[in-house]
């Protein structure tokens, strides 16, 4: 089945220790998104790639970086995680950026704990 895969599902890191979350997709979608979702809150868009074009949200901290080496993979790097970065991180894909029908397909998420 075509899908969005996130690894690991649960990640524990220490305060200040860099961590990388990964996302892969078999949908061949050209847009990939990273969201941060804290408990009982809406997902917050961090950035997205339209093909290789990187689009950062204005309020995304510099601590968060992303890489997309190819169509299938996208990585979220947190350079120096703080306690406030503990959250669920959702990867999503869509077949087109912006415009009309923008359905996004979500991965299962990675729950990050910062000790």
Partner 1 sequence: GQNIDQPTEMTATEGAIVQINCTYQTSGFNGLFWYQQHAGEAPTFLSYNVLDGLEEKGRFSSFLSRSKGYSYLLLKELQMKDSASYLCVADTDKLIFGTGTRLQVFP
Q: Which residues are near partner 1 by CB under 8 A?
A: 40-43, 45, 48, 88, 90, 98-109, 111
Give the nearest distance from C-beta 80 to partner 1 in angstroms.
26
d(C-alpha 50, C-alpha 28), whole Å: 12
Q: Which is nearer to partner 1, 29 or 48 (CB)?
A: 48
Q: Which is nearer to partner 1, 1 or 103 (CB)?
A: 103
Give the nearest distance from C-beta 91 to partner 1 in angstroms.
9
Q: Which is nearer to partner 1, 2 or 80 (CB)?
A: 2
For the four alpha carbons of 53, 66, 63 and 104, in that order, the dihedral sign comes to positive
Backbone phi, psi, residue 85, to 5°: -90, -5
The SS3 assignment for 96 reads: coil
The secondary structure of 6-39 as a DSSP string is: EE-SEEEE-TT--EEEEEEESS--SEEEEEEE-T
Give the nearest distance from C-beta 64 to partner 1 in angstroms.
17
Give the nearest distance from C-beta 29 to partner 1 in angstroms.
14
Q: Which is nearer to partner 1, 48 or 81 (CB)?
A: 48
């Amino acid at each position: 089945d075509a899908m969005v895969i996130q690894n690991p599902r649960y990640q524990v890191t220490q305060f200040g220790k860099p961590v990388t979350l990964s996302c892969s997709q078999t949908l061949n979608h050209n847009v990939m998104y990273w969201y941060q979702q804290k408990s009982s809150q809406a997902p917050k868009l961090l950035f997205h790639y339209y093909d290789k074009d990187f689009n950062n949200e204005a309020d995304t901290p510099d601590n968060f970086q992303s890489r997309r080496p190819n169509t299938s993979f996208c990585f979220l790097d947190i350079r120096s995680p703080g306690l406030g970065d503990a959250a669920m991180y959702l990867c999503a894909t869509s077949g087109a950026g912006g415009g009309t029908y923008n359905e996004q397909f979500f991965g299962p998420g990675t729950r990050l704990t910062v000790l």
